[in-house]
């Protein structure tokens, strides 16, 4: 893999200007505004979703409202990588923001659940285009020394939405109706469009090498992208129905995914080859193990320990703050020589946090242990997730930043879907479906093994990720 040539420093860079210096201020505020939009949508819309599904008589299709977003976003990530490498990140980012807003409006005006799901799918297309384009912007516009700082700013931008988003969404849903959550959010699009796009046009538009011939889209990778979306969709469908007939779509999805994923991720990813392949693999293992475990924590606390839904949510809510703290730590210049060591420590913290969760199934263990463990795990993940982004851009030539960023996001999104589907299937097989229908006040005598069978394998995945984190260096000095 060729390394990007060093870019000539601007005067303000030489004098120590940061991400909020005169040169980068508009770009930084604009890109953070884009992330804020995505973060607010992720936290607010999820709160309104159950009410929307009930009013649209679509509880049976509820899971598809989530899976449709992830399925189309995987395709959009591959498309965005090629588009950004070919024409620069400005066009795919603009298209992504507009598609994101259009999807919200389509869901907000839906009269049937299937139209609602279609809106979520359009939203996923926009989200996939946006996230990859932002990575290319960072690689193009910011010098290497400023990239950890902007990644830390992205992480911090999730803190406020994670706290106030559900509260605002709940109040709006209760007082005005769920449609206002979806139809009102697109108003926020105006701010990132006004701030980010002019700065991107000035600092990161056009192809990486304007003198090179303009290449066509890679039709093979587009087909692979469609394949990964269809394969994931089949697996998600099968995971929701544990009947024997569901084995057919599961087998078809797996058969489709294996060659497709091997074609989209860097060669050597699955054997943790040193350098970029291990960076991509680690991102998936870190994100997937964390998301799959976190998804079952509130349910465990409500059904097994009698907490209210609000307290159960707050028990892991502090993680947003510690995640930002971990991301901030990795952004400090003095931490750069120790980045790989920080990532190993981060994965060990994640492993310990997930491994602690099953202990709360024992009544003698206080429930506040969950909050402490999850705060520690999120601190570790804050270091790991931001650092994988920094290392990916460091190891990517400018003309490959889009494709490599797409691979990183595919690893992230695909592992979330697959590990969550596997955990959910195991949970349901051991009686999780009946557990979900009870609360502690209802006297549920649920088998706690249904939760343990989710948490223990995810802790093993996280521990394996700590080993992968030792293979990020391509030489003695990265």
pLDDT at 100: 92
Considering the chain, what is the average pLDDT of its residues? 81
CA distances from 158 to 5, 41, 192, 318, 327 (A): 33, 11, 15, 12, 12
pLDDT at 443: 41
Radius of gyration of the chain (CA): 22
Say which range, 159-163, 402-406, 436-440, has the weakest mean pLDDT. 436-440
254-305 pLDDT, tens digit per residue, is 888 888 888 888 989 989 999 999 999 999 999 999 988 887 887 788 778 8
Spatial separation of the C-alpha atoms in residues 126 and 209, rounded to whole Å = 26
Query: What's the whole-number mean pLDDT along residues 6-22?
Result: 57
* Of 341, 325, 335, residue with least CA distance to 376: 325
Query: What's the whole-number mean pLDDT along residues 1-11?
Result: 42
Task: Annotate 16-76 with three-state secondary structure.
Answer: CCCCCCCCCHHHHHHHHHHHHHHHHHHHHHHHHHHHHHHHCCCHHHHHHHHHHHHHHHHHH
pLDDT at 465: 96
pLDDT at 433: 53
Tell me: pLDDT of 13 over 70: no
Say which range, 143-157, 312-326, 366-380, 397-411, has the weakest mean pLDDT. 312-326
327-368 pLDDT, tens digit per residue, is 889 888 888 889 999 999 999 999 999 999 999 999 899 988
43-93 pLDDT, tens digit per residue, is 777 667 777 888 888 766 666 777 788 788 888 988 988 888 888 888 999
214-243 pLDDT, tens digit per residue, is 677 778 888 888 888 888 878 777 766 666
pLDDT at 380: 95
Q: Which range, 146-150, 208-212, 301-305, has the best average confidence (pLDDT)?
A: 146-150
pLDDT at 413: 83
Spatial separation of the C-alpha atoms in residues 46 and 304, rounded to whole Å = 23
Query: What's the whole-number mean pLDDT along residues 166-190?
Result: 79
Angle between helices 401-429 and 276-294 (to 10 degrees): 30
Query: What's the whole-number mean pLDDT along residues 450-463?
Result: 92
More confidently predicted of 274 and 4: 274
Tell me: pLDDT of 8 over 50: no
Tell me: pLDDT of 6 over 60: no
Cβ(18)–Cβ(155) below 8 Å = no
Cβ(331)–Cβ(148) below 8 Å = yes
111-121 pLDDT, tens digit per residue, is 998 999 899 99
């Amino acid at each position: 893999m060729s390394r990007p040539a060093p870019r000539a420093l601007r005067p303000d860079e030489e004098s120590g200007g940061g991400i909020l210096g005169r040169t980068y201020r508009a770009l930084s505020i604009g890109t953070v505004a884009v992330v804020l939009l995505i973060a607010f949508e992720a936290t607010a819309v999820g709160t309104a979703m159950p009410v929307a599904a009930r009013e649209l008589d679509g509880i049976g299709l509820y899971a598809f409202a989530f899976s449709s977003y992830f399925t189309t976003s995987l395709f959009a990530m591959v498309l965005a990588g090629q588009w950004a490498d070919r024409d620069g990140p400005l066009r795919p980012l603009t298209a992504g923001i507009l598609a994101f807003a259009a999807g919200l409006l389509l869901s907000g005006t839906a009269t049937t659940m299937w139209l609602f799901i279609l809106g979520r799918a359009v939203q996923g297309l926009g989200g996939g285009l946006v996230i990859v384009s932002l990575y290319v912007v960072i690689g193009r516009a910011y010098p290497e020394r400023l990239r950890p700082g902007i990644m830390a700013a992205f992480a911090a931008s999730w803190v406020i939405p994670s706290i106030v988003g559900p509260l605002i969404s709940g109040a709006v849903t209760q007082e005005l109706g769920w449609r206002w959550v979806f139809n009102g959010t697109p108003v926020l699009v105006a701010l990132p469009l006004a701030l980010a796009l002019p700065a991107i046009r000035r600092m990161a538009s056009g192809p990486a090498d304007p003198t090179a011939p303009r290449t066509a889209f890679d039709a093979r990778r587009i087909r692979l992208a469609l394949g990964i979306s269809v394969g994931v969709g089949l697996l998600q469908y099968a995971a929701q129905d544990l009947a024997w007939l569901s084995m057919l779509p599961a087998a078809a999805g797996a058969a489709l995914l294996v060659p497709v994923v091997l074609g989209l991720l860097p060669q050597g990813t699955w054997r943790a080859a040193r350098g970029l392949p291990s960076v991509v693999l680690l991102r998936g293992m870190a994100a997937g193990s964390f998301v799959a475990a976190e998804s079952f924590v509130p349910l465990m606390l409500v059904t097994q320990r009698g907490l209210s839904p609000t307290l159960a949510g707050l028990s892991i809510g502090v993680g947003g703050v510690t995640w930002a703290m971990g991301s901030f730590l990795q952004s400090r210049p003095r931490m750069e020589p120790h980045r790989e060591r920080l990532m190993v420590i981060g994965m060990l913290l994640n492993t310990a946090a997930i491994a602690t969760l099953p202990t709360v199934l024992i009544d003698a263990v206080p429930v506040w242990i969950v909050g402490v463990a999850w705060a520690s795990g999120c601190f570790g993940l804050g270091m790991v997730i931001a650092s994988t982004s920094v290392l990916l851009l460091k190891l990517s030539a400018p003309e490959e930043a889009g494709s490599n960023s797409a691979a990183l996001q595919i690893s992230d999104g695909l592992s979330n879907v697959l590990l969550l589907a596997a955990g959910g299937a195991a949970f349901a097989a051991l009686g999780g479906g009946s557990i979900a229908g009870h609360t502690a006040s209802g006297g549920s005598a649920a088998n706690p093994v249904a939760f343990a069978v989710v948490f223990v394998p995810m802790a093993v995945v996280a521990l394996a990720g700590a080993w992968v984190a030792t293979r990020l260096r391509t030489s003695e000095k990265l």
